[in-house]
Every structure is written in C-alpha cells, then in structure tokens.
C-alpha cells in the first residue's frame, strides 16, 4: 500500500499537532514535570527505530535484525551508568510508573510491607496510593511531611520503619520542593534491614547537573523518568547495584513489558549525551536560581510557599493567604486562559479534595530551557497574580495573555517552520 499522498495526508492530526506546538511556544509552560526536549531528541523519537521489535537485551534478543539496535541500547546503558555513577542500568521502562512497578515485581513479593511518602504530601501514585497497583498489591504505609516546617520528618519515617518492618523503603517525591538527602533513608533502611529505592523522576536532571545530591551511592535501586528535568523523551529508567541487576532486568522483560520502544531508547541515549555536556550543569544551576527567584517574587505577591520556599526546580503554592476563596482548580483554569500552564495541587493537610485543592504546583524547567533567567521571574509572578486577582474580568485576563505571548516571543523554543 502506498504512503498517503498530499491529498490523503492526515491533515486533521497534523493540524492539531501544529496547534499544540503553537500553544507550547506562545505560553508559559510551568508544569514542574514537563520540559522542552531538543530537536535531536525528537528526531530520534520519530526515527525508523519505531519499526523494530527487540524483545530481550543487547546480544540476547528473541528476533533477528537487532545488531544496530543492540549498539544503540548498549550506548544508552553505558551513558546513563556514567552519568549517575551506577553499576547497572535498564533503559527499557516505558514510563516512571512502569519502572517503579518493575522494581516492586523484581525485589519484593505481593503483600510485602513497603514505606513511601503519602501522595497528598508530595509522593507519587506508585508509592502506594490505594487506587494504584502498588497500593493494591503491596502493604504500603505512608509517611508525611511534618506540620511545622512541611518537610519530611525522618523521626516519623524511622518510627514507622521500626513499627512496620518494611522490606523496602521508597524515597522520592513529585511535589516536594526541598532537597531530599539520601543518607537518612539509607540509615533507616539499614537499621530495619530494608532495601531502599529512590525515585528521582523529578530531580534526575538536577542530580545529573550536580545541583542535587546523587542517591546512587546510597540506594539499592534508583528509578526515574527521562522527560522531566533531564529533558529527554518520555520514558523511564532504572539504575541498580550489581546485586539486583538480574532481578530488575527480569522484572522489566519478560516480567512486565514486551518489546522495548527502541526509538525512545535511542532518544534517551541522545538525552544522556546532552546531559553530560558542561552546558547542562549550567542549565541545572539556572533552574535553581530561577526557581528561587520565582518563589521570592510569588511571596512578594502575597502567596505562601509550602515549606517557605524551594531548593529544587519547583514550588508548591498555598493560595489561601492570597485569596481564601480561590481554589487550585479555578486558578489552573483561569491561568490556562492567560496562557500560563500549571497544575492544581494539594498542599499538605489540604482541607479541599484533590480535584479542587488549595494550591498549585509551579516548576521552571521549561522556561529555563527557553532561556529565561532571574530577570523574567518577577514578570511571571506578576502575570500569575494579576490573572488570579482579576479572574472575573475577561479583558484583564486577555491583556495578560498578550503579555505572556510577548514574553515568550523573546525566548523562542524551536526554530520557526518555513
């Protein structure tokens, strides 16, 4: 069958892709878990590798024709091991959730006890939420941030570990703005004889760029997604010590996945190469500077920052001191109209439901990739505050939309299409 001609090309989908590209580059992308990948990462993702089946691992495949794929996957593995100083890497997980589930499958048994951070205090669905397979199949107990400084309370983690004797302790977060030291988790795991997993999905790029402690020397297993601060394609990755390498590989394939997405693996290899460049360390440093400048500017606009600020790429903003009536849901919707994309987020001990929330989560990886620096952060805070203050005035919201587009036009992400 011939390829579609100009006449039969799917203009509907390609038109929508163009529309989405326009949305991304003319608005402020402040979702903490998103980023703009490089054109090279996108080229690898859209390459002929999408045509290939490659169940198995390099030199141990079930199908023929994998000599080149083997080279690509081996390159991805070597690069990511070097980037994080790991003994062993599995680059096949399709996502962070798949990576985490493979770790549980490989290292513990259904019904075993695990400790993780509660979802509503900044953890992840796969860290034992009752609606997720992790919480359904394993006996998770959750720790929380403490009420005074809204930081992880290691005394509580230790108490729970002594009480419940987990087989595994899961460190890692999705909406926790503070640096997370691996050593206290290791000490507690050792005290109770547990394994330790660190999910660095959000902070992988900060670790690679040298601005967050690297948990690899402390954890038995480290998981992450490649598309957040690391700025690669959508996908997951697992790093382990040699002791757990075979169990993890078996849990990924054939345990929980079939054919790997080798186009994504190639794009991961490209992203790992990019993250090894000296410029990437500067990028990571700028993320921290930008986040801190934005947090400061937001507090000057009357918002409260959960835990008082940030030392990562993200902040969680309590909207109540700014406006007691304003919910995260409403804020997300009206900010979308102003071209400012972020997500509603529970704050610790939020009186509102996860569908409504009293907060929003804001991250700077995308705006930092497009070249914005500290000088632009007060502008972003001002646009957010003005939109929320004047949320019932469509003309005022439209005026902010214009200012957002003008700011973004000064920081083009991708070359204009001919």
DSSP secondary structure code for residue 322 in this structure: T
Q: Which of 55, 70, 337, 399 is catalytic?
A: 55
Q: Is 234 a catalytic residue?
A: yes
**Catalytic: which of 174, 225, 327, 387?**
225
User: Whole-number minimum distance, CB 178 to ligand DSN, in Å?
Assistant: 15
> Which of the residues 81, 158, 179, 234 is marked catalytic?
234
Q: Is 176 a catalytic residue?
A: no
Specify whether 228 is catalytic. Answer: yes
Q: Of these residues, 120, 150, 199, 376, which one is catalytic?
A: 199
Active site residue 55: yes
Smallest gap from Cβ 115 to ligand DSN, in A, equals: 19
- Confirm or reject binding of residue 129 to ligand DSN (CB under 6 A): no
Nearest approach in angstroms of CB 356 to ligand DSN is: 18
Q: How many Å apart are CA 56 and CA 249, to the nearest integer?
A: 9
Touching ligand DSN, residues 294-323 (CB under 6 A): none
19: buried, middle or exposed (CB in 10 Å: 19+, 13-18, 0-12)? Answer: exposed
Comparing CB distances to ligand DSN, the nearer of 132 and 386 is 132
Site for ligand DSN in 255-294 (CB under 6 A): none
**Pairwise CA distance, residues 202 & 117, whole Å:** 14
Question: How far, in Å, CA of 142 to CA of 138, rounded?
Answer: 12
What CA–CA distances, in Å, run from 318 to 148, 175, 220? 15, 13, 35
What is the smallest separation between the CB atom of 228 and ligand DSN, expressed in angstroms? Answer: 7
Nearer to ligand DSN, 161 or 207 (CB): 207
Residue of minimal Cβ distance to ligand DSN: 33
359 part of the interface to ligand DSN, by CB under 6 A: no
Question: Based on CB atoms, which residue is closest to ligand DSN, 34 or 318?
Answer: 34
Number of neighbours of residue 8 by Cβ within 10 angstroms: 9
Q: From the candidates 178, 186, 228, 361, give the one annotated as an active-site residue.
A: 228
**Does residue 33 belong to the site contacting ligand DSN (CB under 6 A)?**
yes
138 is a catalytic site residue: no
* Locus of tokens 């992203």: 271
Residue 174 or 346 having the CB closest to ligand DSN? 174
Catalytic residue among 26, 53, 179, 296: 53
What's the rounded Cα separation, in Å, for the pair 144 and 313?
21
Out of 35, 45, 174, 226, point to the residue binding ligand DSN (CB under 6 A).
Answer: 174
Task: Give CA angle at 152 (308, 236), nearest 5°.
Answer: 100
Q: Which is nearer to ligand DSN, 33 or 370 (CB)?
A: 33
Instruction: Provide, for the chain, the percentages of residues in helix, strand and coil under a 3-state DSSP scheme, each rounded to the nearest 5.
Output: 45, 15, 40
Three-state SS letters, 18-37: HHHHHHHHHCEECCCCCCCC
96 part of the interface to ligand DSN, by CB under 6 A: yes
Question: Are residues 409 and 25 in contact, defined by beta-carbon separation less than 8 angstroms?
Answer: no
Among residues 269, 387, 355, the alpha carbon closest in space to that of 30 is found at 387
The minimum distance between CB 174 and ligand DSN, in angstroms, equals 4
Closest contact distance (angstroms) between CB of 104 and ligand DSN is 16
- Site size toward ligand DSN, by CB under 6 A: 4
Contacts of 112 (CB under 8 A, 6+ apart): 138, 139, 166, 167, 168
Beta carbon nearer to ligand DSN, 96 or 235: 96
SS3 318: strand
DSSP calls for 33-78: T--PPPHHHHHHHTSGGGG----EETTEESSS--HHHHHHHHHHHH
Min CB(101)–ligand DSN separation in Å? 13
List residues with catalytic annotation.
53, 55, 199, 225, 228, 234
Residues that bind ligand DSN (CB under 6 A): 33, 96, 124, 174
């Amino acid at each position: 069958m011939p390829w579609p001609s100009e006449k039969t090309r799917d203009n509907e989908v390609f038109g929508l892709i163009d529309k989405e590209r326009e949305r991304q580059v003319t608005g402020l992308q402040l979702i903490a878990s998103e980023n703009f990948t490089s054109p090279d990462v996108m080229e690898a993702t859209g390459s002929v590798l999408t045509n290939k089946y490659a169940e198995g691992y390099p030199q141990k495949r079930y199908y023929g024709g994998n000599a080149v794929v083997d080279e690509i996957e081996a390159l991805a593995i070597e690069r990511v091991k070097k980037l994080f100083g790991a003994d062993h890497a599995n680059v096949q997980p399709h996502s962070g959730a798949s990576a985490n589930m493979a770790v549980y499958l490989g290292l513990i048994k259904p019904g075993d006890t695990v400790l993780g951070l509660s979802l509503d205090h900044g953890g992840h669905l796969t860290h034992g939420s009752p609606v997720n397979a992790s919480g359904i199949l394993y006996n998770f107990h959750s720790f929380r941030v403490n009420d005074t400084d809204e930081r992880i309370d290691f005394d509580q983690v230790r108490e729970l570990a002594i009480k419940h004797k987990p087989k595994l302790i899961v460190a890692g977060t999705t909406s926790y703005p503070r640096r997370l030291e691996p050593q206290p988790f290791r000490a507690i795991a050792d005290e109770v004889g547990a394994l330790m997993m660190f999910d660095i999905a959000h902070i992988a790029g900060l670790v690679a760029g040298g601005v967050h402690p690297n948990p690899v020397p402390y954890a038995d297993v480290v998981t992450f997604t490649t598309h957040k601060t690391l700025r690669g394609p959508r996908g997951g990755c697992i790093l382990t010590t040699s002791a757990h390498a075979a169990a993890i590989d078996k849990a990924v394939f054939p345990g929980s996945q079939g054919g790997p997405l080798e186009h994504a693996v190639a794009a991961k290899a490209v992203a790992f190469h990019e993250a090894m460049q000296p410029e990437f360390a500067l990028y990571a440093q700028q993320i921290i500077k930008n986040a801190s400048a934005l947090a400061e500017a937001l507090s000057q606009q009357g918002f409260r920052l959960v835990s008082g600020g940030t030392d990562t790429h993200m902040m969680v903003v309590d909207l109540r001191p700014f406006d007691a009536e304003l919910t995260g849901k409403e804020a997300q919707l009206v900010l979308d109209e102003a071209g400012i994309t972020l997500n509603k987020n529970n704050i610790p001990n939020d009186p509102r439901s996860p569908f409504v929330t009293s907060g929003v989560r804001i991250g700077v990886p995308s705006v930092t990739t497009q070249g914005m620096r500290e000088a632009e952060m007060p502008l972003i805070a001002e646009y957010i505050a003005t939109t929320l203050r004047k949320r019932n005035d469509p003309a005022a919201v439209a005026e902010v939309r214009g200012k957002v587009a003008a700011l973004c036009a000064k920081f083009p992400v991708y070359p204009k299409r001919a």
